[in-house]
Amino acid sequence: MKQVSFLLVCFLSPLIASAFSHVDRAASFEYGDPGIKSMHALAFSPDGVLFIGDSKSATIFAIQTEDVSAGKEVEDIEVNKVDELIADALGTEVENITIQDMAIHPLSKRVYLAVHHVDGTPVLLTIQKGRLDVVNLSSVNYSKAALGSPVEESATDRRGRSLRQWAISDLEYFDGRVLVSGLSNKEFSSSVTMMSYPFKENDQELASLEIWHAAHGQFETHSPIKTFTTAIINSEPQVVASYTCTPLVLFPLSMMKSGAHVKGRTVAELGNRNTPLDIISMEKGGESYLLMANTSRALMKISYQALESFDGSLTEPVTENSGTAGIDFINLPLVNVLQLAKLDDKRFVMLQRRSNGDLDLHTGSADRWL
């Protein structure tokens, strides 16, 4: 029998309240309804603060969860037909929901899912040990920071489609800062905003981005990063970003200063007619790898060693349909992977559409796949 319950993200005991009281004061948390209008991206800090990227309000929310450390043994996550489970919990049909993003709490190892209902309602859910919980966001401890220069609500692309959903395309916590990719209202709209955490008023740095898009054969400044991660490459913190059609680009964090226009270094073209969906880092045998999920390609594996040894940049068009260039990569025999999240040093979790049509949440082993 499917179990559905409601998880109230609030202080359920004096012990939990005591554990988070110092963090609350430091981060100037408020208690109540943060007024989240959409959920386009999720990320966690190492101590379990959940960051939610809301493109409609162009705001990053930091939410206190009550999760605590899991036991020594964390079971594999295996949930079949997760979309049906979510639809049942929300009293609707599968076609009325969209899973926007997935993240795993670093302490409890609980899976968090951002879901949009067709009527526009955002819903935050958690899954652990096969049990689905709907998070009540009307009573939480939260802080927030509005983006200083988001793309306008009225902005549209050449086909008349709203660009506001790309105010926040992805986000990540790194070394005391929240990094947010998306579109700004600046002349060169592709951007990364960095904000210190705990949030402080008027403490943001927005840098516009430029890349050489080999599949398009041109420089671009208006397409947002679709997914990114951060990594130390050759002793320097870098944003490792991927765009539609599918360039892989490095941006040194040291260059992400307020008002800067940063030209990324395109290190790979991974094939056109494809959109990257998610990207994570994993390790095996002392070597680090990127795993990237895609709309029209299998799960890709890219060695950090290859990133470190490639000191050039793509500068010529890749004209062959689905042609590739730059660093090597491997297509793993895992297709229709929609979301990725790291479970621990040896395992990752995939949201994958199976060949029979089922949407399953399941665990992959680094020993097996890397």
Q: What is the mean pLDDT of the chain?
A: 92
Q: How confident is the model at residue 13 (pLDDT cuts 50, 70, 90)?
A: very low
* Token pair belonging to 194: 């960095």
pLDDT at residue 160 above 70? yes
pLDDT digits (tens, 9 = 90+) for 143-159: 999 999 999 999 999 99
Residue 137 has pLDDT above 90, yes or no: yes
The whole-angstrom separation of Cα 365 and Cα 163 is: 37
Query: Do the Cβ atoms of 292 and 278 come closer than 8 Å?
Result: yes
pLDDT at 2 over 80: no
User: What pLDDT score was predicted for residue 73?
Assistant: 83
The predicted pLDDT at position 5 comes to 33
pLDDT higher than 90, residue 24: no
The predicted structure's pLDDT at residue 63: 97
Look at residue 290 in the predicted model and tell me its pLDDT: 98
In the predicted model, what is the mean pLDDT of residues 326-335?
97
Residue 112 in tokens: 């968090």
115: amino acid identity, one letter:
V
pLDDT for residue 22 is more than 50: no
SS3 351: strand
pLDDT of residue 59 exceeding 90: yes
At residue 205, the pLDDT reads 97
Per the CB < 8 A criterion, the answer to whether 322 and 267 are in contact is no
- Report the alpha-carbon distance of residue 336 to residue 298 in Å, rounded: 7
Q: Which of 145, 221, 227 is nearest to 186 (CA)?
A: 221
Predicted pLDDT at 341: 98
At residue 202, the pLDDT reads 87
- pTM for this prediction: 0.92
List, for residues 277-304, the tens digit of each pLDDT value. Answer: 999 999 999 999 999 999 999 999 999 9
Residues 225-231, mean pLDDT to the nearest whole number: 98
> What's the pLDDT score for residue 72?
76
**Three-point CA angle 18, 22, 24, nearest 5°:** 95
Contact 147, 167 (CB under 8 A): yes
What is the share, in percent, of the chain residues with pLDDT greater than 70?
93
**What would the 3-class secondary structure string for 121-186 be?**
CEEEEEEECCEEEEEECCCEEEEEEECCCECCCCCECCCCCECHHHHCCEEEEECCEEEEEEEECC
Phi then psi dihedrals of residue 218, to 5 deg = -160, 160
- The string of pLDDT tens digits covering residues 267-278 is 999 999 999 999
Decide if 16 contacts 144 (C-beta within 8 A): no
Q: Answer positive or negative: Cα dihedral of 159, 54, 120, 360.
A: positive
Question: 274: closest CA among 337, 364, 183, 202?
Answer: 337
Judged against a pLDDT cut of 90, whether residue 26 lies above it is answered with no
Give the per-residue pLDDT at 69: 79
